[in-house]
Structure 1
Amino acid sequence: MKPFFLRMLILALFPFYSIAQKSPRVLIIGLDGFSTEGFKTAKHPNLDKMIADGVLSLTTRPVMPSITLPNWTSHMTGSGPEEHGVTSNGWTKEKHILTPLETDKDGYYPSIFKVLKEQKPATKIAYYYNWKELIYPINKSYLDEVSFQEKDQYKDNYNKAYDFLLQHKKDPALVFLYSVHTDHAGHGYGWMSPEYISSIEAADVEIGILLEKLKTAGLYKDLHFMLITDHGGIGKGHGGTTMNEMQVPWAITGPKIKKMGLITEFNSNKNTSLVLARIFGIGKIPDSWTGSLPKTIFK
């Protein structure tokens, strides 16, 4: 029987069967200190186009305290500081106050990277960052590629993220692409200062370049994209409980996501790993994870 007629027969008998099951693939773009205020004020046409066919929350809550390491750890572990134990930017595996609820064999709280490698071992995982402390709570043994850039530089990591996705275009893949320069602009010049807004707009330019390269290579259509951040800011700092600090953008788009536009339902940085687990078809999440899955965003 010819392939075309075989396909038609299968679809007729099994209408919900997909001949070409696509491997789940996610690119996470993380901008540190990117507030809802900043999102509303800055011009970011490339981010806008990226998330236009998906979901955008401008009322997502960081975990407390509203500082960097606890929140990025929460994104990647589906839990809050009270569970994963990362309560400050000074946390290290060797020196911390609060004992985590659960650890792997190497002493790390279970991350989405661990869950993926154990349940979906074919998944290729890359982690790109430019704030050295960021990776401290993450067990690097579950990562296939790691790249750190110094002095707030991030463009080389954007190129590496593209190369990684191209190299593994047939594999399930999760790429975490982070930059701290937006946060440092807030600390240096003030949240909502012209320099802070410019830092967001500069990131958007590089994001646009990356997205165009993905489109040209035929990699864009089947990717899920996430935009996440850790906290906002007020004055030249953060860590408190003002709405300037405790309200951030969170967005996702891709083949499994509904086109819903702006949503107002409750969302938390703790939910990110639950969403990733759903995209990758993870059957069991760690018992210690406390995030919740925003089910309405999925097709």
Structure 2
Amino acid sequence: MKKLLLILLISVTVAGCTNQKSQDNRDSDKVLLVSFDGFRYDYLSKANTPNFDKLVETGVISDGLIPVFPSKTFPNYYAMATGLYPENNGFVGNNMYDPEMDARFSIGNRDAVENPDWYEGEPIWNTVEKTGKKAGTMFWVGSEAPIQNMRPTHWKVYDQSLGDSARIDTVLKWMTYDNQDEVDFATLYFHFVDSEGHRHGPDSPEVIDAIERADDLIGYLVQRMREAQIRDQTNILIVSDHGMTEVSRERIVVLDEMINPDDLEVIAYSPALMANVKEGKLEEVYNTLKENEENFRVYRKKDIPDRYHLKNHHRIPDLLLVADLGYIINSREYFDSNPDYPSGGTHGFDNQEKEMHALFVANGTDFKNGFRMKEFQSIHLYEIMTHLLDIDPAETDGNIDSVSVMLK
């Protein structure tokens, strides 16, 4: 009888350990990367955000997330994905010209967006998949192209009309399949904070409404994760690509007052204006702009400051003009034909400008509780995520040691 009881006790103990191990294997190491486009570092202080506040109280917040330059959407999301500066991952702007491909990239050109030739480096979802784990991307720059002839297990073509809760529900389904398609790493993306910032400016009531809408979504996300029993086993990182600042008609730089705009072939527009110059006119145009530097700075490609990490790539054109914070550069013809331009808010300015800095909040079992840290560069996010997933990173410009203070 005693022997039978001992056998039964051992069987129950082994079964319990096996079930616990199975649960731990399924749910451990999950990472969810959530981004609200254009969510400035200080937006949480502008509105009532109880759901964000709970995550901050039991997790980590930084004084800001420093974007790469230019502080535009596509370069920053791809820098986060690869841990590489623009000059090392090829993504130097929302608009680009590649002289070797003799091709142009714009964010509205679907053929270009889905062409892997534009994307260099290794995005996080490829790193995840190469280890045998699974990734799912809900709208992340680069995830619509077969980079390195690979795709994440789950991905979506960008569809701005897809509802907020539907995005969350889809990603949580990917994270809870309980089969070979269940993901260990996932992304979520929402555009509306940036849209309201552009239309109305960062201090507008519309932006406050957008911040509170984002907070409601965080509440919904956490609730749904708890219902799916994955909240306690998932590290959440909430980020943004850049900040936002006010612009107005009173702060403009008119090219015609210095040079003939027809001498420029503009590749990317203000406030980080990139342009090639008509053959034989580079020095003349550069010297004239340099003599008239007021409310902007001009650089030849070879003179672009090293801290921008932008000049060592063939997609960088002859000239870079960087407007001072809040100023916009364009031609007289463009300003005259658009009398309400500029207005509202924009970004793209020097990434050292505090108003360009973005949000960073993290919460999960691997993060400290109630910890506030200094601002850090967004290129370190890739290293944080591979560390949390316990996978080997590709070569990057980031360094986990720069941000490990946030980890337990």
* TM above 0.5: yes
Q: Which amino acid aligns with 1:60?
A: L
From 278, 283, 286, give the equivalent of 2:387.
278
Shift of 1:19: 10
Superposition deviation, residue 137 in structure 1: 6.7
Question: What is residue 199 of structure 1 aligned with on the other side?
Answer: 210
Aligned-partner Cα distance in 1 for 2:117–2:22? 38
SS at match of 2:138: strand
Matched, 1:38 2:146: no
Deviation at 1:107, TM superposition (A): 6.0
User: Corresponding residue for 2:221?
Assistant: 210
Match of 2:71 in 1: 66
- Do residues 250 (structure 1) and 379 (structure 2) align? no
Letter in 2 for 1:273: Y
Amino acid at match of 1:290: D
When residues 18 and 51 of structure 1 are mapped into structure 2, their CA distance, relative to the original with a 3 A threshold, is: farther
- Aligned amino acid, residue 388 of structure 2: I
2:266 corresponds to 1:156: no
Aligned twin of 2:134: 124
More displaced 10-residue stretch of structure 1: 62-71 or 198-207: 198-207
Tell me, yes or no, if the aligned pair for 1:63 and 1:268 is still in contact at 8 Å: yes
User: Which amino acid counterpart does residue 274 of structure 1 have in structure 2?
Assistant: E
Aligned partner of 1:298 in structure 2 is 407
Aligned to 2:259: none
Aligned amino acid, residue 145 of structure 1: H
Structure 2 CA distance for partners of 1:149 and 1:80, relative to 1, 3 Å: same
Q: Answer whether contact 2:240 2:360 (CA < 8 A) is retained.
A: yes
Unaligned runs of 5+ in 2: 1-6, 16-20, 106-115, 247-344
Aligned equivalents of 2:97, 2:12: Cα separation in 1: 57
1:145 corresponds to:
154
What residue ranges of structure 1 are gaps of 5+ in the alignment?
A: 8-16, 98-103
- What is the SS of the residue equivalent to 2:209? helix
Q: Does 1:230 align with 2:244?
A: no
Q: How much has 1:69 moved relative to structure 2?
A: 0.6
* SS of residue paired to 1:208: helix
Give the C-alpha shift of residue 243 in structure 1. 3.0
Letter of the 1:217 counterpart: A
Q: After superposition, give the CA deviation of every residue in 1:231-277 in whole Å (9 maximum; x if it has no partner).
A: 1011111111263433222121212222242112x511101110011
Does 1:262 pair with 2:372? yes
Identity percentage of aligned residues: 22
Answer whether contact 1:189 1:196 (CA < 8 A) is retained.
Answer: yes
Match of 1:100 in 2: none
Separation in 2, partners of 1:166, 1:249: 28
Tell me if the contact between 1:38 and 1:192 (Cα under 8 Å) persists in the aligned partners. Answer: no
Give the Å deviation of 1:52. Answer: 2.8
Letter paired with 1:47: F
Q: Residues 109-156 of structure 1: CA distance to partner in whole angstroms, max 9, x if unpaired?
A: 2111111111x21x2211112x8x664677383311122323474332
1:204 Cα offset (Å): 1.5
Deviation at 1:214, TM superposition (A): 1.3
Residue by residue over 1:45-91, the C-alpha shift from the partner in whole angstroms, topping out at 9 and shown as x without a partner, is 11222343221102221111111111111111011112112111125
Using the TM superposition, name which of 223-232 and 87-96 deviates more.
87-96
Label 1:43 to 1:244 Cα distance change in 2 as closer, same or farther (>3 A): farther
Q: Is the 8 A contact 1:59 1:248 kept in 2?
A: yes
- 8 Å Cα contact 1:231/1:246 also seen in 2: yes
Conservation of the 8 A alpha-carbon contact between 2:89 and 2:119: no
Question: Which residue in the other structure is 1:109 paired with?
Answer: 121
Query: Would the alpha carbon gap of residues 138 and 36 (structure 1) be closer, same or farther in structure 2, given more than 3 Å must change?
Result: farther
* Displacement after TM superposition at 1:18 (Å): 12
Q: Which amino acid counterpart does residue 397 of structure 2 have in structure 1?
A: T
The whole-number CA distance in structure 2 between the counterparts of 1:109 and 1:82 is 11
- For residues 222 and 82 of structure 2, the distance between their equivalents in structure 1, rounded to whole angstroms, comes to 27
2:125 aligned partner, one-letter code? F
Larger radius of gyration: 2
Deviation at 1:30, TM superposition (A): 0.4
**1: CA distance between counterparts of 2:225 and 2:73?**
29
Aligned partners of 1:110 and 1:20: how far apart in 2? 28
Q: Is the 8 A contact 2:82 2:123 kept in 1?
A: yes
Structure 1 161/19 Cα, relative in aligned 2: closer, same or farther at 3 Å? Answer: closer
Q: Measured at CA, do residues 20 and 90 of structure 1 come closer, stay the same or move farther in structure 2, by a change above 3 Å?
A: same
One-letter amino acid matched to 1:26: V
The answer (yes or no) to whether the contact 2:137–2:154 under 8 Å persists in 1 is yes
The 8 Å contact of residues 49 and 215 in structure 2, kept in 1 or not, is answered as yes
In the alignment, structure 1 residue 239 sits paired with structure 2 residue 251: no
Contact kept? 1:76, 1:112, Cα under 8 Å: yes
